[in-house]
Amino acid sequence: MTHPAPDTPAALPNEPRPHLTPPARDWLDQALAEAALGITPTTELRLAEAARRCGPPHADTARVLILRAAHPTPADLARVYHRGTADERRAVLQALPHLVPGPDAVPLIEDALRTNDTRLLSAALGPYAARHLSAHLWRHAILKCLFTGVPVADVAQLAARAHGDAELARMLADFAAERTAAGRPVPKDLHHVMALTDPEAVPPHPAYEDGVPHGKES
């Protein structure tokens, strides 16, 4: 087994202010100043207001910035996640690479992977899961993407983790056989992931994908 590389800070989301109206910029500045006091009921209210204040295209980034400004602990993030709406849960998942250096937040990833909310599934399989999710759970997450229609292009470090993974290849083959036997189409993404599991394929080099170091688990 190759041990994961040490955590490095994830790149921050794109700065939304140039794309916001003056009132929205003022609101975000105020929300960030308030968040500096930590995760409080006011901070949680600002997370809930983000879509209305900043508009849907920028709300996710605004929420991540607010969470980052609050310097939350894993326990704070878990509380926000479990009490929040689907949008707020997605923001917590997207913020994990910026806030949690170790595996303490893996239970939040596991919870998201138990849902059938495709937007949560996509957010859960970002750089944090690529680094910290066990091989067993990651393989099942890939199958769930195929089953629910989440594009595998959304999965961070897919090529690095799938390369030479014989167990994932077996699971994909079984899944394809089951779909074919039931007269159902095999997702196109399955063939893409299957190709990535080929040990003869050229692996990502160096062991980076999406700019984030990665180590594989067996």
pLDDT, one tens digit for every residue, the chain (218 residues): 333 333 434 455 567 888 899 999 999 999 999 999 999 999 999 999 999 999 998 999 999 999 999 999 999 999 999 999 999 999 999 999 999 999 999 999 999 999 999 999 999 999 999 999 999 999 999 999 999 999 999 999 999 999 999 999 999 999 999 999 999 999 999 999 999 999 987 766 544 444 444 444 43
156, 205: one domain: yes
Burial class (CB in 10 A: 0-12, 13-18, 19+), 202: exposed
1, 92: one domain: yes
Residue 46 within a domain: yes
Residue 114 within a domain: no
Residue 125 within a domain: no
95, 49: one domain: yes
Residue 111 within a domain: no
What's the domain count of the chain?
Answer: 2
Residue 18 within a domain: yes
Residue 122 within a domain: no
What residues make up the domain containing 144? Answer: 134-218
51, 4: one domain: yes
Residue 113 within a domain: no
2, 93: one domain: yes
Query: What's the pTM?
Result: 0.85
Q: Give 209's strand partners.
A: 212
* 199, 163 contact by CB (below 8 A): yes
Residue 129 within a domain: no
Residues 6+ apart with CB under 8 A from 51: 59, 87
Indicate the residue among 77, 101, 125 that finishes a domain: 101
152, 215: one domain: yes
